[in-house]
Amino acid sequence: MTLWKLYDRERNMHDDSDFFAGVFDDEKNELREELVGSTRWGGGPCIEMTPMSQMPEDIRASYHIALRARWQQHIECAETMRITHPTRPEGQRVVLVKDAHNRPRETVECQKCSGSGHWTNPKNARDVRKCFACDGTGRQTKAAKGKMVKIPSGTKGTCTRAFERQSQYGTWSYGTQCTIRLDDGSEIRASLDSLRLDEEPRLDYVAEQAATRAANGDAYSVMHPGATLALFGR
């Protein structure tokens, strides 16, 4: 077994530092980090490592396969999370994953613009803008009197708005609520936690991205992929 050294990393803490080396284990075909030293104690583990520059071509091929497999795992996880735990669902098709309960809602004329869909500046009659209350539609939906209505899981629609519910002075957050326009034109409200995107993981895209990122041979990025995975919607 040979451990091929890929990079060095230091973890700084309040009083001490730990030192790590990224290695490729050619026996297990595994990428991992080894602790090689620390200021918390004297001395350190004696780990024999060979520089990556001396890696032969057959071992380098195995290394790139392991690198691509690790990227595939990370990006596939990020893609799944993008669908099952959306953070920016506005304008996208969504589906309820658990039942929601809403009061009956009715569509009424917008009171701010009297149904015109426009707002006129009282100090300048030529300053006409889209009504912010109804978004220019001239109609608003509001909760009507009556018992709560059960919206079954599996209901699909388009998310038109996502907003955070807060206490009066913004001290507490009650989670993110979404307004969903159903296919029949009606609207419901549901928490963001009860939604997922109405699409399947882009497996071809995942494989393409994994191959692209593995091609540069950067082991540090795949061992610490947080900033990179933010590019995939998380």
Strand partners, 37: 19
Q: Which residues of 21-53 are buried (b: 16+ CB within 10 A; e: fewer)?
A: bbbbebeeeebebeebbbeeeeeeeeeebeebe
Full-model pTM: 0.71
Domain boundaries, the chain: 3-85+201-232, 93-104+149-197, 105-144
Q: Do 95 and 183 form a contact (C-beta atoms < 8 A)?
A: no
| Residue segments in the chain with a per-residue pLDDT below the cut of 70 | 170, 227-234
Q: Do 93 and 158 form a contact (C-beta atoms < 8 A)?
A: yes
Q: Which residues of 181-201 are buried (b: 16+ CB within 10 A; e: fewer)?
A: eeeeeebbbbebebbbbeeee
- Predicted pLDDT at 234: 46
The count of other CB atoms within 10 Å of the CB of residue 69 is 15
Which residue is it, tokens 């969504």?
A: 94
CATH node for 93-104+149-197? 2.30.30
- Predicted pLDDT at 229: 64
